[in-house]
A = this chain, B = another copy of it.
Amino acid sequence: MTWLAGAAAVAALTFDVDAESPILAQGGHYAEHLTTMSHQSYGPDVGVPRILDLLDDLEVPATFFVPGWVAEQRPGLAANIVERGHEVAHHSYSHRPPTSLTGAEERNDFERALAVFESQGITVSGHRAALWEASPQTPGLVAEHGLLYDSSLMGDDRPYLLSAGGVVELPVHWSLDDWEQYAYLPAPQIGSVIESPRKVLELWKAELDGMRFYHCLFTLCLHPFLSGRPGRLLALRELIEYAQNRGDVEFARCRDLAVRASADDSVAVRPVSPVVVDPSVYP
């Protein structure tokens, strides 16, 4: 498994810089909810600068998935992330999940994000579906537009190919996402319990150790509006230091990982064609 480059596990730190987009995707009228909007703008305004400093401090690279709409609203945001040595990747235009869109709407949204990044001089090499809700046509859009990888599926915990020689999947998982641990809003409801950073650290350390045992890809997904809070950042710092102190975990940008996985013959091909369903069994 050359994609591991000799490590027991590889950690891909990824940040979804969603800002207001996932809330507005649930209804444009939430723009009038001032507290909710401020809860979201905290991400790029307060969280991202602290995260960039933390990554500098610990000398680890990361990948930032940015919706095109967010990049458009905050013109310097994506460029600044790139300047600091990190990767910016495609995270839809509007953060509306592909499973809620028609084929034409998804294509339009996908291409509109590419146009934003092109206009800002940002090269993107990979894609993550909004809400991790890829549709049957999503992998085809990724391939058609020449991107190297997708990071929205959960069919393995190691990189895999969506077709022989084709797009690399860098899989995610709900248990390595900060949303289920930290998110709370009364309207729209986006979570019910706010966990302690100590519990979250325990959960992620357990998964990291399991992944060192099984030689996996630890794709951590963090949202600056959630993990940018002070106590959570200290826990993230502790997690990264824990991984560094193990001595067998490598940190890598998604783009670099995709290149390595593409060149590794041991990487599995897993078909993504949707299950064929008999409507008399599953209406």
Q: A residues near B, CB below 8 A?
A: 20, 24-25, 27-28, 31-39, 41-42, 45-46, 50, 69, 73, 93-94, 99, 129, 131-136, 138-139, 152-157, 171, 173-175, 180-182, 184-187, 191-199, 202-203, 206-211, 213-214, 216, 229-235, 270, 272, 274-277, 279, 281-283
Which one, B46, B173, B202, B230, contacts A207 given CB within 8 A? B230
B20/A275 in contact, CB under 8 A: yes
Residues on B with C-beta less than 8 A from A232 are: 210
A274 to chain B, nearest CB (A): 5
Q: Which residue of B lies closest to A133 (CB)?
A: B35
Cα distance A235–B175 when bound, in Å?
Answer: 15
- Which residues of chain B come closer than 8 Å to A185, judged between CB atoms? 174
**Which residues of chain B are within 8 angstroms of A234 by Cβ–Cβ distance?**
206, 209-210, 213
Known contacts: A28-B282, A231-B209, A277-B28. The answer to whether A35 contacts B154 by CB under 8 A is: yes
The distance from the CB of A30 to the nearest CB of chain B, in whole angstroms, is 8
Question: Given A203-B194, A281-B94, do A274 and B155 touch, yes or no (CB 8 Å)?
Answer: no
For A199, list chain B residues within 8 Å (CB): 196, 199
| 10 CB-based A-B contacts, threshold 8 Å | A20-B275, A32-B136, A39-B174, A42-B156, A45-B270, A173-B229, A193-B195, A195-B203, A196-B202, A210-B232
- Separation in Å of the A278 CB from the closest CB of chain B? 8
A35-B129, A37-B274 known; 11 new pairs, CB 8 Å cut-off, are: A28-B283, A32-B99, A34-B153, A38-B155, A45-B270, A46-B155, A46-B156, A181-B194, A206-B231, A208-B231, A210-B233
Residues of B within 8 A of A35 (CB): 129, 132-134, 152-154
Please give the count of copies of this chain that the complex contains.
Answer: 4
Which residue of A99, A153, A184, A229 has the most chain B CB atoms within 10 A of its CB atom? A229
In the complex, the answer to whether A277 meets B24 with C-beta atoms within 8 Å is: yes
- Residues A206 and B235 in contact, CB atoms below 8 Å apart: yes
Q: How far is the CA of A229 from the CA of B191 in the complex (A)?
A: 23
Instruction: Quote the shortest CB–CB distance from A79 to chain B (angstroms).
Output: 21
Instruction: Determine if A192 and B194 form an interchain contact, defined as CB atoms under 8 angstroms apart.
Output: no
Q: Knowing A39-B154, A275-B37 are in contact, say whether A197-B192 is a contact too (CB < 8 A).
A: no
Say whether A194 contacts B180, CB under 8 Å. yes
Q: Is the CB of A193 within 8 A of B192?
A: yes
Q: Which residues of B contact A36 (CB under 8 A)?
A: 133
Chain B min CB distance to A19 (Å): 9
Residues on B with C-beta less than 8 A from A153 are 34-35, 38
